[in-house]
């Protein structure tokens, strides 16, 4: 029979008879951890668990959104694999809360080192810019990590390569900071001009408390 330990009840321990053999740990009526015959499933926990989102094919549209980020999240890793667009506008990431995606107030920069050891850089106040000198044949693979430093302020740090088949030719690093108006709930991947269309690759996120 399942046994539920529930902090919202005076008895503290609830047993209900069935044949599932499941143990649930709850806090205030919300299941945090489930132990069953198939293993351990960690639900909403404020720390320790890394949750993967669902990978999205970046093959159409001018932006890709990840929504429903839990309020307890303290770190988000955004992963790109072979992402490209049909134009030359640099890629950028924007954060949002319950009021929507925020498009101002970012401090962000990205630098690029090419095969000839030249260095170029670009910056943006409208999002976290993650590429430099992009072209319609560039396929970007890399990660950007967002960490909550205080209140609703997020710090970013990332790195990427162009074109996995020739990774020695081009590398990029980026960083930035953004203070949201409220708790983060969503992220958007788009381009600086907002009109170039994604045509290859996939994108996913990991988040943790």
CB proximity list for 143: less than 8 A, separation 6 or greater = 77, 78, 79, 80, 158, 159, 160
CB proximity list for 17: less than 8 A, separation 6 or greater = 1
Question: What's the pTM value of the predicted model, to 2 decimals?
Answer: 0.77
> What pLDDT digit, counting tens, does each position of 68-104 carry?
999 999 999 999 999 999 999 999 999 999 999 999 9
Band of the pLDDT at 118, cuts 50, 70, 90? low
In the 8-state DSSP scheme, what is residue 194? S
pLDDT greater than 90 at residue 46: no
> What pLDDT digit, counting tens, does each position of 144-179 carry?
999 999 999 999 999 998 887 765 567 889 999 999
CB proximity list for 90: less than 8 A, separation 6 or greater = 110, 122, 124, 129, 130, 131, 132, 134, 191, 192
Give the β-pairing of 153-162 and 171-179: antiparallel
The tally of CA atoms less than 13 A away on the side-chain side of residue 2 is 17
Band of the pLDDT at 122, cuts 50, 70, 90? confident
For the chain, state the CA radius of gyration: 21
Going from the N-terminus, what domains does the chain have, and what CATH number goes with each?
3-42 (no CATH), 50-208 (2.60.120)
């Amino acid at each position: 029979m399942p046994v539920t330990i529930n902090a919202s009840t005076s008895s503290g321990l609830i047993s209900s008879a069935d044949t599932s053999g499941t143990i649930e740990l709850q806090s205030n009526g919300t299941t945090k951890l489930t132990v069953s015959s198939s293993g351990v499933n960690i639900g909403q926990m404020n720390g320790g668990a890394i949750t993967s989102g669902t990978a999205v094919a970046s093959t159409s549209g001018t932006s890709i959104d990840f929504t429903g980020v839990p309020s307890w999240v303290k770190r988000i890793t955004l992963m790109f694999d072979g992402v490209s667009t049909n134009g030359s506008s640099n890629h950028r990431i924007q954060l949002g809360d319950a009021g929507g995606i925020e498009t101002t107030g970012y401090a962000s920069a990205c630098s690029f080192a090419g095969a000839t050891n030249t260095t170029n850089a670009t910056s943006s106040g409208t999002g976290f810019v993650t590429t430099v000198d992009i072209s319609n044949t560039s396929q970007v693979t890399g990660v950007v990590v967002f960490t909550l430093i205080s209140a609703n302020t997020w710090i970013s740090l990332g790195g990427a390569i162009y074109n996995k088949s020739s990774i020695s030719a081009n590398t990029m690093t980026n960083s930035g900071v953004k203070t949201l108006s409220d708790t983060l709930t969503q992220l958007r991947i788009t381009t600086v001009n907002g009109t170039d269309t994604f045509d290859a690759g996939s994108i996913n996120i990991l988040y943790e408390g």
